Every structure is written in structure tokens, then in C-alpha cells.
Amino acid sequence: MVPSSPAVEKQVPVEPGPDLELRSWRRLVCYLCFYGFMAQIRPGESFITPYLLGPDKNFTREQVTNEITPVLPYSYLAVLVPVFLLTDYLRYTPVLLLQGLSYVSVWLLLLLGSSVAHMQLMELFYSVTMAARIAYSSYIFSLVQPARYQRVASYSRAAVLLGVFSSSVLGQLLVTAGGVSFSTLNYISLAFLTFSVVLALFLKRPKRSLFFNRGAAGREPSASASELERMNPGAGGKLGRALRAACGGSVLARMLRELGDSLRRPQLRLWSLWWVFNSAGYYLVVYYVHILWNEVDPTTNSARVYNGAADAASTLLGAITSFAAGFVKIRWARWSKLLIAGVTATQAGLVFLLSHTRHIWLCYMAFVLFRGSYQFLVPIATFQIAASLSKELCALVFGVNTFFATIVKTVITFIVSDIRGLGLPVRQQFQLYSVYFLLLSIIYFLGAVLDGLRHCQRGRHQPLPLAQDLRSPEEEKAALALSVQDKDLRSLPPAQGPRLSPEDSLGAAGPGSGEQRQSDLATAPLATGFLSPVPAPSAYILGPTQASGPDSAAETCPQSAVPPPGVSTLGLQRHLSVSVQNVSQ
């Protein structure tokens, strides 16, 4: 037996202190925010449409409007659900890497492609980058504790907005002040995107995710199942896989049931519908507004194209309105529909102005205001949807809302824009979009009016409590006096005064009668109940102690009450009359 010594004893690992943990998550968040900023530096993005319509590619406006751009919502609908599931299953970083490679593919096709098919493939890769944006927004929550969610969410959102703003400003400065061509601008964008792919390679891959990888507690059963599969790779492995598939299906079924129950809440249902229909119209305007700008001002001089400035101004205004929305304090249950109706009506007017004006600066201004008004409602909708949901269910609700919004957007695109549908010119499309927003605003306004009418009816015909309806003011005072008297009687000491005469007492106990004392003890609670302020029974409600059969007479008829021992009926009546007079005064 070897004696223990300090050198032989097992060393206990030292847990990292709070300072080390704090420095660790700060480094991770800083690096992720830097990646999010650099991934948005695409100075040529605001000038893709004039680049396609210009002498570099020489596509017609009809080809860009009715053949190339409609591919974007179609492909986005196809890749949205697979990318969403892969994001959680692969734990974020592979999907972020896929997003960076897709951006590189987009700009390679822009620079090297020459046909409509190449540009349609470019739209397919761009839809993958759009679907993969959820990886960045949800990745940061797997790195920190829930107490830091709000702070790191604001950091990541600020990094993205700052990147978009800086990218638009940089592109506009290079085009206007530097005289850089659109082709050179796209090469610069390709260089920045390649650098962002290199940054994505060094992102830390988290050990847990929202649904498929739920931490150590969720990994233990899978580890034991994998050991069983190694011992018996035949039927046992299939059984384990089937059990895991069944468990996964039960979790999904439970979440879908919870989703159905949650949709019964009026605020959640309202803001989810807003998310579906208004975001569909918003993205349709964003997709086609650059084509509209080119039709309003079809210049070939790149120095006179201010698309980057308009995008920068709209991003800045969107950030300001999103920040201001956090300080709006109203009764959302009453005023939500009216607020949505007002903002949607404003958007309808701005889109109508876009479809009819011939001044490019008026188009820029209308688009900036349109985008700012939409960004004002986004954080409000996010809070109203997520306020009463768990983190998993909240992610599912947002995913379902985005999916249905994509369906609406795809259907409208096929009918209005696609060459196989109506194939309308861009101005007529914006006229239909203005009607679309106008109809939505009318529906929201009618809902607000109906809610107001119901609220007024409830306030006008609000019934009073039954006890107040059935009592007069004198009865209220008498009930208050009975309550006071009840307290006074409960505080009285046991009867030790002179013997009462039979005229002044109802069955008072004698000193030598044990049966009579038991009778007095039995009648004392009844007297206490008689003196307590019991409200008059309602004629409309059948209480639990109110019988309705033929034998109910003995249960519901009042019984004579006996006062406590030592208290005379005459003295009690006098005391009660004095109390009622005091209350009346």
C-alpha cells in the first residue's frame, strides 16, 4: 500500500474564474461582430441593376424584370427550410462558411457570366445567402449565457447595420468621387467577400444548438445509443435510429401543438399576420426598386447614379426608427391595429408616389421613408411575438412566419412579374403594390374600428357586482355595522356576569346543566354566522349551497339563531341600533 503524499495525490482541475469567462465571451462576441461587419462590405451591391443594364452586360430591362429577378423568390422558397434545418443541425459555422462561398459565387457569376441563365444561377446563390442570414443572428446566442442575450443581440445587430451603411457609403464615394466603374467596384466587392470567408474559417463552432444539439443533457442518450449500435450494428442500430426518429417526431409534434395553442392569442396572431403580408410586400418593393430607378433616370454616366446614397440613407433611417420603437409606450392590445393601419397607409402612399413620379430624387426620398417605416414596426413585432413564448417556440414562430411570407411573395411574383404570368412592366407592378398596401391598411383600420366599438360596448354596459346591485345604501351601512359588531363579539370574554332571566335569554346555560352547556357550544357558531355580513343571495345564480329539489326547503330556509352565552337579545339589539346610527352619521 503506497502512502499518499502531496506529489501522489490527484490534482483537482481549477475552474475558470469569472474574469477569465468574461474575457472569453467578450473576445468571441467582438470577433463575431467584426465578421458580421466585414461580411456586409459589398460596395457593388447597390449598383448591380445599372451594371446589368449598362454596357458591361447589356441586358434589357424586360429581361432583368421578368426573367432574372423573379428567380430570387422562387429559389429562396426552395432553400429556406433546408438551410434553416442545416443551420441548427451543423451548429452554425458550416452554414456561415456556405454563406460566404455563396457570396463569392454571386460576384464571380456577375463578373464572368454573360447569359440570362448565368444571371438566374447568380440569383439562386444569392437566395442561399439570404436564407443563411439566420445562422449569424442565432449563432451568437449559443456562445453566451441567457443573461447576456439582449446585450449581444444589440451588438450583432449594430455591427450588421454599420456594415451595410459603410458599404453603401463606400460604394457611392468610389463611384461619384473616385470615378470607379461598376466592373471595378464588383472586383473590390469580391476581394472583401473573400476576406470574410477567411474570417469564417476561424469562427468557434459551438457545442450546442437550439433544436438538434441541446447540450449535455440531450447528448447522453445519443451517446449510449451509439455505443449500442457499435455492439450490435444490426437490428439494434435500426431500432435505436427508429427510437430517436420517433423522439424527434414527438418533440416536433409537441412544438406544433404549442404553436397552435399560441395562435389563439390575439396579439400574436395580429403581428404574425403583419409579418407575413407586410414583409412580403416590403421585399417585393426592395427587389424591384433599383429597376424603377433606372427607368426614371436611365443615365449611362455612373457618376450620376446615387443608388448607394439612397441605400445608406434608408439604412440609417431604419436604424434610427428601430431604436425609437423601443421607447414607444402605448396599450398595444388596444392601439396595435390602428398603428399598423397608419403605417401601412403611409407605405401605400409612398409606393404610389414611386410608381408615378418622374423625379429621381423624389424616388430616393420615397424609398428611404418607406424602408424606415417598415423598420419601425419590425422590433415592435419581434417583441410582441416573442414576449410570451419560449426560445424554441419563438424561433419556430419566426420561421413559420418567414416561410408563409415567402409563399405570398412567390405567388405575387409569379402572377405579376414572371414572363409566364402577366409579365408587367415595373411601373405597373408598383401600382399594384400600392393597391396591395392600401387594402392591407383598410383591413387593419376596420379591425381597429371593430375593436373600438366592442370596447365602448363593454364600458357602457359593464354590469356591477351582484351584491352591489341588490343592496340599498342603508343595507350597505347595516352590513358594515354587522361586520364591526361581529368583531366586537368575537373579542368579548366568556360570560361571567349575573344570571339572566328566562325573558332576556334564549336557552342560557345554568351552572349545573352539562347538556345545556353542550347545546350552547353548538349554537355559538350559528350565532356568529348570523352576525357576519352575508350578502343577499342572487336570484340569477344558483350557488353551491342552494338546492333545487323538493328536499331543499330544510336546507335553504333561514333558521333562528341563538346569541352567544352571556349576551342578551335586548342588549344586542340596542348595541346594533347604536352602531347603525353611528355609521349613518
- Tell me the per-residue pLDDT of 297-342, one tens digit each, with 9 for 90 and over: 887 788 889 999 999 999 999 889 888 887 888 787 788 899 999 9
Q: What's the mean pLDDT in 427-455?
A: 92
Which cell goes with 77? 422558397
Residue ranges, CATH 1.20.1250.20, the chain: 18-206, 249-460
Helix (H) or strand (E) holding 359: none
The burial of 4, by beta-carbon neighbours within 10 Å (0-12 exposed, 13-18 middle, 19 or more buried), is given as exposed
Range from 262-276, 321-335, 562-576 carrying the lowest mean pLDDT: 562-576
| pLDDT at 223 > cutoff 70 | no
The burial of 116, by beta-carbon neighbours within 10 Å (0-12 exposed, 13-18 middle, 19 or more buried), is given as middle
CATH number of 18-206: 1.20.1250.20
What confidence tier does 207 reach under pLDDT thresholds 50, 70, 90?
Answer: confident
Which cell goes with 73? 423568390
In this predicted structure, what is the pLDDT of residue 355?
93
Alpha-carbon span 569 to 571, nearest angstrom: 5
In this predicted structure, what is the pLDDT of residue 129?
94
* Phi–psi pair at 288, nearest 5 degrees: -105, 0
Q: What's the mean pLDDT in 206-235?
A: 50
Q: Model's pTM, two decimal places? A: 0.69
For residue range 134-177, list pLDDT tens digits in order. Answer: 888 778 777 777 677 767 777 888 889 899 999 999 999 999 99
Alpha-carbon span 91 to 67, nearest angstrom: 36
User: What single letter denotes the amino acid at residue 461?
Assistant: H
What confidence tier does 9 reach under pLDDT thresholds 50, 70, 90?
Answer: very low
| pLDDT at 241 > cutoff 80 | no
Range from 180-194, 351-365, 466-480, 546-560 carrying the lowest mean pLDDT: 546-560
Q: What's the mean pLDDT in 264-272?
A: 85
Alpha-carbon span 83 to 90, nearest angstrom: 10
Q: What's the mean pLDDT in 237-261?
A: 55
Return the closest-CA partner of residue 319 out of 378, 394, 397. 378
What confidence tier does 408 reach under pLDDT thresholds 50, 70, 90?
Answer: very high
Count Cα neighbours of 65 within 13 Å in the Cβ-side half-sphere. 24
> Taking the alpha carbons of 80, 86, 92, 95 in that order, is the dihedral positive or negative?
negative
> Cα(first)–Cα(last) distance of the chain, in Å?
96
- 443 or 243: whose pLDDT is higher? 443
Alpha-carbon span 26 to 207, nearest angstrom: 18
Pick the CATH number of 249-460 from 3.30.300.90, 2.60.40.10, 1.25.10.10, 1.20.1250.20: 1.20.1250.20
Q: What's the mean pLDDT in 128-136?
A: 90
What residues have CB less than 8 Å from 525, skipping those under 6 apart?
Answer: none
Q: What average pLDDT is seen over the chain? A: 75
Helix (H) or strand (E) holding 187: helix 182-200
| pLDDT at 77 > cutoff 50 | yes
